[in-house]
Amino acid sequence: MATDEGNRSMDRQIETSSSKRMIQPRFFKKGQANDPTKTKLIWNNQLIRSPLQTPKIIFEERDVQDDKIVVVVETVTDDPGVDEIPCMKVTALRFIETARAWIKKAGGVCFAFDQLALRDPLGQNTVLVIGPKNCCEVNRHFGKPPGVPHSHTKPYVR
């Protein structure tokens, strides 16, 4: 349902299909600095919340101290090309079973958002990692019209 202004009013109603995504932001305290960012990322559609592989998390996590928790508001997948994963704490919406097994085998911990909220309600020891936003094929069609000078958009029909 949309309001007169065209904004989404989904945060006021509970649907069975989105109840999982609906409940998770409410676990966090309102005084948290990155609470609006996490809430916005959780409410994004599936095109923007593309899967994130473990090498990207490893790359982002190498500059982080050991006590920090990496927060990924996407699905975490594994990469068979990576032989070794360091010990890390990861929170995500979903984990592929092989990615969860690799993280636990390295001595790391996989959290859900409700477990993160119980462990660190203010989110002070968290680092937010965002995956690629424009990786879908549909984004190649957006921009200047095809055929216009300096336009790199893909036409729908060639």
Among candidate residues 89, 32, 25, the one with its CA nearest the CA of residue 58: 89
Choice between 1 and 118, residue whose per-residue pLDDT is larger: 118
Alpha-carbon torsion 50, 56, 60, 64, what sign? positive
What domains can be seen in the chain, in order of their start residue?
18-45+52-130 (3.100.10.10)
Q: What is the pLDDT of residues 127-158, one digit of tens each?
A: 888 777 777 788 888 889 998 999 999 999 87
Choice between 27 and 98, residue whose per-residue pLDDT is larger: 98
Amino acid letter, 138: V
**CA 14 to CA 18: how far, in whole Å?**
7
**CA 117 to CA 96: how far, in whole Å?**
22
Choice between 77 and 1, residue whose per-residue pLDDT is larger: 77
**CA 78 to CA 71: how far, in whole Å?**
16
Q: What is the pLDDT of residues 46-103, one digit of tens each?
A: 666 677 777 777 776 666 667 788 888 888 888 888 888 888 888 888 898 998 998 8
Report pLDDT for 117: 80
The answer to whether residue 119 scores a pLDDT higher than 60 is yes
**Quick one: pLDDT band at residue 16, thresholds 50, 70, 90?**
very low
Report pLDDT for 100: 92
Q: What is the largest CA-CA distance in the chain?
A: 54
Which residues are CB-contacts of 67 (< 8 A; sequence separation ≥ 6)?
A: 125
Query: By the 8 A CB rule, do 93 and 42 touch?
Result: yes
Query: By the 8 A CB rule, do 75 and 48 touch?
Result: no
The reported pTM is 0.62
